[in-house]
Structure 1
Amino acid sequence: MKHYWAIHIKNLVTILFLLCLLAGCSLEKKSGFNRNMQNLTAHYNILFNANNLLLQKQEIYAGSYIDNYNQLLRVYQDTVYHNGTDKELEAVIAKAENIINIKEQSRYVGDAYLLLAKANYLYGNYFVADEFCNYVIRNYSDKPELSQQARNWRVRTLLNLHQLPLAKAVADTNLTVVFYAKKKYDEASVYAAHLQYDLDAGNYKTGEDMAKRAIKTANDSRLRRRLTFILAQLQELNHEPADAYASYSRIANSNAAFEMSFNAELNRIRIEDVQNNRHISRLDRLKSLLRNENNKEFIDQIYFQIAELYMADSKLDDAIKNYHLSVKNSSKNQNQKGLSYLRLADISFKNKGDYVGAKKLYDSTLLNLSPNYPGYRSIQLKSNNLQLLAEQLRIIAHEDTLQQLASLDEPARAARIDVLAKQHVADVKAAAVASTNSAFTNTNSPNAQVQTSGTPTASTFYFYNVNSLSQGFSDFKRRWGNRKLEDNWRRSNRSNSDITNNTQNITTQVGPTVLPQKDQKSTDDLIATSYKQQLVQTLPLTPQNIAQSKARVYNAYFTIANFYRDVLEDPKEAIITYETLLKRFPDGSEKPAIYYNLYRLYSNIDVVKSDYYKDLLIKGYPETPFAKVILDPDYGRKLNDKDAELNSLYNKVYDLYAHKQYKDVITNAELLLQQFPNNKLAAQLAYLRAMAAGHNEKLLPFRADLYNILNQYPNDALIAPLVNEHLSYIDANQNELATRPVVLIDNDLYDSPFAQSLIIAKPVVAVAPKPVVKQPSTQANQAPNLPALKSGAGLYSLRDSSRYYFVVNVNAGTTNLSSSRFGIGQFNRANFAPEAGIKHQLKDAGDNNQLIFVGVFHSLASVKDYARAIIPLMPQIMKVPADKYSFFVITQENLDKLADKKTLDSYIDFYQKNY
């Protein structure tokens, strides 16, 4: 009987297999059988596996996520910075695409689009995730559970895009739907999503209500504990200590993870002490925990909390000591070690001004901290760009010192300079000793690196470097003996010569740490004297010099603020710097721009402050572009239209110049300057007019034209340095140029003698407010394009290169870029000597993209410096609409692979994820 059933089942399986094969041949035919088969395979094969992969990925993220218990916890633990591709998420995307493309008759196509939304969210592609969520909401309203999930994920996505008003609207819609729905689907997720919005928006009363609802309806015990801790925090903020104590007690008495339970217990004790008027400090509580053997495994976290308390009280030395103890005791918890390194790095950078030490500590942070840490990307960017920030902070500190010294009378100034010189000598010697010890230690390390001439040391200036000075003394004594510091020391026949008495240690090699006392004193004197001379020579003692010094400080602050805003995308630090700028320079020239930036930065943090700066801008500077952008929503479009017209007219003038029609150039340039006075291209038009006139006039009137440009446009960062270069060349070659019948005998400025000037002027420019680009919304009846998430892996390389290029990608295949290339050439000639070999060339990447690539640069740092200098000038340089061009950096190896739009788009994705 068993044998009979076995044969029967085997035959049945065979029949089903054959039916599936036959069905597979006609899956594109719309039939009930095909729909059922596609539903079966899509649900139990593809969708089930994809959802499992997503759940596993979220579990991994939650396990490695680092919570900061000194702040409000986030509801979700899945904020991850991706560097490259993720195999699991790629698999989810592939499975979803499989359903959409092959199982289109199944009822799970909407689920597949939601899968794409979730995968893109976890990938960090929030714009793409939002489009997929929106598509599901609009097109699958007949599936309430699916559309509810899509709204939950859209709220989370919009919060990561800092679009709080839209996130509130979606979250409120979900609440309304759940309230009136006869059948409830996962209510906890709806309340949790709204709770996260309330936390971000600062709506703590509403947040408390959402937390209670989410706890009541949640099925996951870990989620309930997390929500309970957040509830306790909210109750504290809402001045409900008894309720907060009860909530913390539920966490402390549960089987929550140690860190959560530990912090709940500390907070509970703090509330109890306040209520009972006890004065046992939290610091004493933490120190008592160190003596408890049960806490041995968590001692690194206790030291970290102690350090945090010292840091809050501005006791830096005690904080540093305990952060180091936390690092020392972090044998298993790498994330805790990374956080301790991060605090030490921030102290070195912000409080100590030790930028070399900060760089090492940031590197240690990145080495130990999980990439899942929410601020990981920002730390990485700060570490990579520390030199720029450090240089601006050095400028501020140096100029502040000089201004303070200049304000003192002579005796007080001299005394203060003596104190500064002694401190400087001590700092230099300490740095030299530390550098020597570090070099000795690293030499014996298996990971030791050879220090090259380009590696930064304690100081690159000879008289600030103890090692160099001591070597100089040794070399001097080897040749001349121990001679006194006196006049005419070279003379061998001077009276009372002590040459013969000073030859006893000629051949002795003396290191910096074992110099005789007399020589050590001489070394100190040299360092101090050199430092004093530098200070005295650069003191701003005239009104003009004081104004220049203040301008350098102002520009440095402005650069730092813009850097935090644009590069690090750190709104809080940007706000602090902008407001410092307003406080220190209440009458600064960039006040409208600062008001506008603060209005935008505060819009997602503090609406009241945002409105405050908006009112200051509109009432105080109503005619500025910043105010007009707020008052007139169409102002940006009108401005772009005007720019497009001006660019077109400029291109016509340039074409006349290129075709040697110099009289027409002069006439048309003057008409344009009258029609568009003080426009952004005015200096360039005046320059073209002067160059055209130079082909028809002798040296003296040509030089007068150049001086007129400097008088009219002294601060133009593109033209002023170039004109100064030309004038320097004229001064050096005046006799030869004066004999010419016309001063310019070449029509091509690239080959003119003025291109041979060796003057290199690096312009100081202010960065304009970062434009907000609104992402296009996908129509309801059209699915979003599937994103390419391969990141160029396998095609492009991150290998180090000695050949880098800065590339301007122009999305207009037929546009004549001659005038734009001319502008880039102007910038290059003003900033680089001919022998530097910096040139710009043009290549096509398919029919619709032209690439202007500038180089060659021999390091990534140098091409980044070039980019920072030229990008703010691009609105003046490029004579095409702003939305038609973009920038990136590339190596020669990768540049050669850009053959069409597909490879170009792939590289841009690779560039955004890896640079």
Structure 2
Amino acid sequence: MKNFNTRNLKVILFSLCIGVLYSCGSQKDTAMSRGMQNLTARYNYIYNTKVMLNNHQLELAETYADNYDQVLPVYIAPEADNSQPNASLNIKSMDDIIKKAQLIILEKSYSNYIDDAYILLGKANFFNANYFNASEYFDYTASNYKSNLNSYTEALNWKARSLMQTRRISEASSTLDSLSPLLNQIKSKNQAEPLATMAQMSIYKNDITSAIAYLKDAIKATNQNQHKIRWTYILAQLYEKQKNDTEALANYRKVEKSNAPFEMYFNANLNRIKIKSAMSGIKTNKQDQLLALLKDDKNLEYNDQVYYQVAESYAADGDYRQAEKYYLLSIQKSTTNAYQKGRSYLSMADLNFKYFKNYLKAKSYYDSTVNTLPKNYPGYDLILKKNQNLEYLTDRYEAVTLQDTLQFIARLPEDNRMARIEAFVNPVVQMPATPTGTAFNYSQIAANPNSNNKAVSQSSFYFSNPAAVGIGFSDFRKKWGNRKLDNNWRQSIKSSAQETIQDIAANISGVPSNPDSTTVTADQGDLVKQYSTSLPLTPELVAKSNQKIIDAYYDIANFYLQELNDTEEAEQVYQKLLDRFPSNNHLAAIYYSLFLINKESNPARSADFKDKILKEFPSSAYAKTILDPSFSIKQSELETAANKRYNEIFQQYEKKAYPAVIEQVDESLKTSGSSYLSPQLSYLRAIAIGRTSTADSLITAFTSITVQFPEDKLVTPLVKDHLAFITQHLSEFKDRKIALPESDSNEFLVPAPIKNTSATLAKTQAPVNTPVTTQAPPPAVQVPVQTVKVPVDQKTTVPANPVKVNGPFSTVTSTVYYYVIHVADASLTLSSSRFGIGQFNRGNYTGSNLKHQLKEFDNDQLIYVGNFSNFEDAKTYAAGIDPQLKQIMKVPVNIYTSFIISKENFDKVAGKALLNMYLEFYKNNY
């Protein structure tokens, strides 16, 4: 009997094995085959891959660095722009999931888990940061498995997440719109993930109310404790953004009482203290509670955040010196948290820029900020742009400081002025004591590495080896200069007055500051003389000084508004300008900017400025724009017509039909009235008169231009040079029957060119105080190209910028640079525009030997001006000519751009493709 049972059991087992092998080895649409495929697919593949996926998600959550300064992401995913998104994780597990999912699709095609396999393929690609592939897999699943509601909704949810990771927000929003009506049809526990995705979408859209509603529902639906904790923390952050302190406090307390990770617990505690203190209204309470956290050893890793919050508290109370102290402590204690260190650097930069007016130190901190914060930090682009353009703002703030100082000294009794000027030129600075007494003199070791104690030199310890220290010091000095050995060595220890004294002197003298301290000492007498002669001692000089302050504030506000898109800072500067100078020459533009800034946020204030414009400046372009929004379009059409008319007259001038030129200019000025091209038309008329009449007629025509257009910066300076030249050679001109014979060029009206272009440019600066228009369409927005000066410490050698290369182009220093105007239309005639460039050069760079030439491609033209011996000279030229291009270029403004290029790079530009490549290279590196 026993043998019979054993024999039967063997037969049954053999049959089962044959059946399993048969089912696995072939794909037949039979009940047995489907059953076996479902069995093996579910337990051999689906179960294992889900375990691997869950483990990977847990590992990612443990290693992911949350930035608690911002609203946390609702779900964790690798960054799309990270080339190695999961470098510290087990990427092989994702590859294994992909292989197993592909095996299900290939070998278990009759099972019920094909949709699960495609979802697993999508998730594996998602966690490998291959979001495009992931969205395609999820889209395929959603399109082909609509009958399976769970798979369909899951695929839509993860498709939306994949699209959101690549910032395809509109597509993701459409996907979630399809998902939303289906939520009530699936189980409650399956609703949590889609609700979380919808909350993240609402956060992206800044719809805080909807995000809160979705998160609250997701917390109720989920059965995963870690999700509940994370979403509760985010809920508290959202309530805090809504200024709902009560709800925010309640949710932070929930996180504190939960089994949250320690970092989240610590930040919840930190935020709870901050909110509770704000609600209580007791200033010192918050700081004391925050500092008490330092006593707990568990918080040692987060001391930088504690110090930062204390500093923020002092800054909010207006105690900026205490704030500075704790920001520096935060920087010192921050060793692993790049976000926090970058935030502390940024706060120090803003503190020095806005409140201490120490612009060079602010520049140093902005440099540290952009080098510390990750590029995906919210607002990083704005910080980078502000850092790059800080010199523009710094120059204008220093101009304000200079004029205020000069006016203050001018109001002192005459006997006290010289002493105050000398004190300002040479301020007394208390040098901070080093922590350990006398600083160790590394330079002495570097100079004589074999000296000092022999026993010390024989040590293997780096700092006990003079030779090694000497080499290290030399390398350090090459990069950082002669820095004093103390805390915060990156920052200068000079006072604000010392740091800005050279730049202020440069503003007076018009030459760059000299970094050599001995030269500064030697020139102190000259500085005192410059200050004393620049004092505004008469009402006329005070008015000129005030105008410089007005123009500086106006430029600063416009820069904040147009370049940095910082409406809050712009409004503050505009208001400061109005408070100090209620009547100034920029009122209409200021009112219009404030009208636009407040249009959405404060309609009543916006309406006030609108009324001011309409009542006080009814004929201005701003009033016309308010009354007729299409005014700017009509104005553009008028400008196009004016350019066309000028080109027609210029063609007559080129044909030497001078009587026709005089007649047509007179007719144009009479019928069209005054326009921005009127000075140039009058100049053509004057030259035509000089070609056909006596010197007296030419002098009358030139004088009429200087009287009618005294503020013009293109033609009037040139005409004044012409008149000066004629006056010097008046007898010769009087003897002529025709003032400008046809055999001569009007070039002789200015002095002969000088070959040394660089030296001439240093003496003859182009006008740089050009007005920057407001956000209004009329007139067109023009922002001058910025000349960035590197602030140099008296005792610091600044290293040269590293050479950057992209394809055939590089930033290597050259001896020849060109200023280039690119016109994106080869069919246009540019002779009249080139004539305008010549006018600018002769009027503003007399004797500089600047030449402008034309280079043509199939579809583009380049006007290039040179030669400039260095990049700074080219930038100075650009700062002067760019604001005048609207008058100079007789082509539509939207088809030309300007840039600077070295001769080596210019020679490599051979067509539109390379030109576009260089323009992108120029934008990113200059």
TM-score for both structures, normalised by structure 2? 0.67
Secondary structure of the structure 2 residue equivalent to 1:742: coil
Note the C-alpha offset of 1:403. Answer: 2.9
Q: 1:278 to 1:745 in 2, by over 3 A?
A: closer
1:765 and 2:770 correspond: yes
Q: Tell me the percent identity.
A: 32
Alpha-carbon distance in 2 for matches of 1:427, 1:219: 68
Letter in 2 for 1:446: D
Alpha-carbon distance in 1 for matches of 2:85, 2:871: 32
Instruction: Assess if the C-alpha contact under 8 Å between 1:289 and 1:302 holds in 2.
Output: yes
Q: 1:641 to 1:743 in 2, by over 3 A?
A: same
Instruction: Assess if the C-alpha contact under 8 Å between 1:657 and 1:692 holds in 2.
Output: yes
Residues 365-764 of structure 1: matches in 2 within 5 Å?
365-406=369-410, 408=411, 411=413, 414-415=415-416, 418-419=419-420, 421-426=422-427, 444-449=473-478, 459=502, 527=524, 533-602=529-598, 613-614=609-610, 616-618=612-614, 620-745=616-741, 751-754=747-750, 756=752, 762=767, 764=769
Identify which of 807, 810, 813 aligns with 2:820.
807
Note the C-alpha offset of 1:248. Answer: 0.8
Q: 1:770 to 1:469 in 2, by over 3 A?
A: closer
1:334 and 2:342 correspond: no
Residue 7 (structure 2) aligns with: none
Letter in 2 for 1:573: E
Deviations 1:130-161 (A, max 9, x none): xx99xx9xxx9x9998999999999999999x
1:313 and 2:317 correspond: yes
Alpha-carbon distance in 2 for matches of 1:173, 1:669: 63
Alpha-carbon distance in 1 for matches of 2:76, 2:601: 21
Note the C-alpha offset of 1:650. Answer: 0.3
Instruction: Assess if the C-alpha contact under 8 Å between 1:428 and 1:458 holds in 2.
Output: no
Residues 129-140 of structure 1: matches in 2 within 5 Å?
none
Instruction: Assess if the C-alpha contact under 8 Å between 1:399 and 1:550 holds in 2.
Output: yes
Note the C-alpha offset of 1:559. Answer: 1.6
Identify which of 826, 832, 836 aligns with 1:823.
836
Instruction: Assess if the C-alpha contact under 8 Å between 2:346 and 2:365 holds in 1.
Output: yes
Residue 68 (structure 1) aligns with: 69
Residue 842 (structure 1) aligns with: 854
Q: 1:242 to 1:533 in 2, by over 3 A?
A: same
Instruction: Assess if the C-alpha contact under 8 Å between 1:74 and 1:196 holds in 2.
Output: no
Alpha-carbon distance in 1 for matches of 2:395, 2:641: 40
Secondary structure of the structure 2 residue equivalent to 1:448: helix
Instruction: Assess if the C-alpha contact under 8 Å between 1:228 and 1:251 holds in 2.
Output: yes
| Structure exhibiting the larger radius of gyration computed from Cα positions | 2
Alpha-carbon distance in 2 for matches of 1:875, 1:190: 49
Between stretches 819-828 and 258-267, larger displacement belongs to 258-267
Between stretches 676-685 and 370-379, larger displacement belongs to 370-379
Q: 1:225 to 1:405 in 2, by over 3 A?
A: farther
Secondary structure of the structure 1 residue equivalent to 2:478: coil
1:188 and 2:196 correspond: yes
Letter in 1 for 2:826: G
Q: 1:563 to 1:151 in 2, by over 3 A?
A: farther
Secondary structure of the structure 1 residue equivalent to 2:855: strand
Instruction: Assess if the C-alpha contact under 8 Å between 1:717 and 1:763 holds in 2.
Output: no
Deviations 1:568-615 (A, max 9, x none): 343332232223223323222222322333344455766665555455
Note the C-alpha offset of 1:440. Answer: 8.7
Alpha-carbon distance in 1 for matches of 2:595, 2:159: 32
1:865 and 2:876 correspond: yes
Between stretches 300-309 and 443-452, larger displacement belongs to 443-452
Residue 507 (structure 1) aligns with: none
Alpha-carbon distance in 1 for matches of 2:665, 2:674: 13
Residue 897 (structure 2) aligns with: 886
Residues 144-163 of structure 1: matches in 2 within 5 Å?
none
Secondary structure of the structure 2 residue equivalent to 1:374: coil
Alpha-carbon distance in 1 for matches of 2:130, 2:587: 39
Instruction: Assess if the C-alpha contact under 8 Å between 2:366 and 2:387 holds in 1.
Output: yes
Note the C-alpha offset of 1:294. Answer: 1.6
Letter in 2 for 1:765: T
Q: 1:227 to 1:570 in 2, by over 3 A?
A: farther
1:283 and 2:279 correspond: no
Residues 244-263 of structure 1: matches in 2 within 5 Å?
244-254=248-258, 260-263=264-267
Alpha-carbon distance in 2 for matches of 1:310, 1:641: 55
Identify which of 849, 860, 866 aligns with 1:855.
866
Note the C-alpha offset of 1:658. Answer: 1.6
Secondary structure of the structure 2 residue equivalent to 1:186: helix
Note the C-alpha offset of 1:877. Answer: 1.3
Deviations 1:690-734 (A, max 9, x none): 122122233333223222111111111222222233233334444
Structure 2, unmatched stretches of 5+, are: 1-13, 28-52, 87-114, 147-151, 187-192, 447-472, 482-498, 754-759, 779-803
Q: 1:122 to 1:656 in 2, by over 3 A?
A: farther
Instruction: Assess if the C-alpha contact under 8 Å between 1:811 and 1:885 holds in 2.
Output: yes
Alpha-carbon distance in 1 for matches of 2:583, 2:659: 44
Instruction: Assess if the C-alpha contact under 8 Å between 1:307 and 1:323 holds in 2.
Output: yes
Aligned Cα root-mean-square deviation (Å): 5.3
Instruction: Assess if the C-alpha contact under 8 Å between 1:804 and 1:859 holds in 2.
Output: yes
Deviations 1:619-663 (A, max 9, x none): 654543234334434323222221111111000111111221111
Alpha-carbon distance in 2 for matches of 1:290, 1:244: 24
Q: 1:621 to 1:798 in 2, by over 3 A?
A: same
Secondary structure of the structure 2 residue equivalent to 1:459: helix
Alpha-carbon distance in 1 for matches of 2:282, 2:267: 19
Instruction: Assess if the C-alpha contact under 8 Å between 1:65 and 1:77 holds in 2.
Output: no
Q: 1:340 to 1:693 in 2, by over 3 A?
A: same
Q: 1:641 to 1:821 in 2, by over 3 A?
A: same
Letter in 2 for 1:426: P
Note the C-alpha offset of 1:686. Answer: 1.0
Alpha-carbon distance in 2 for matches of 1:215, 1:748: 87
Alpha-carbon distance in 1 for matches of 2:164, 2:595: 24
Note the C-alpha offset of 1:232. Answer: 2.4
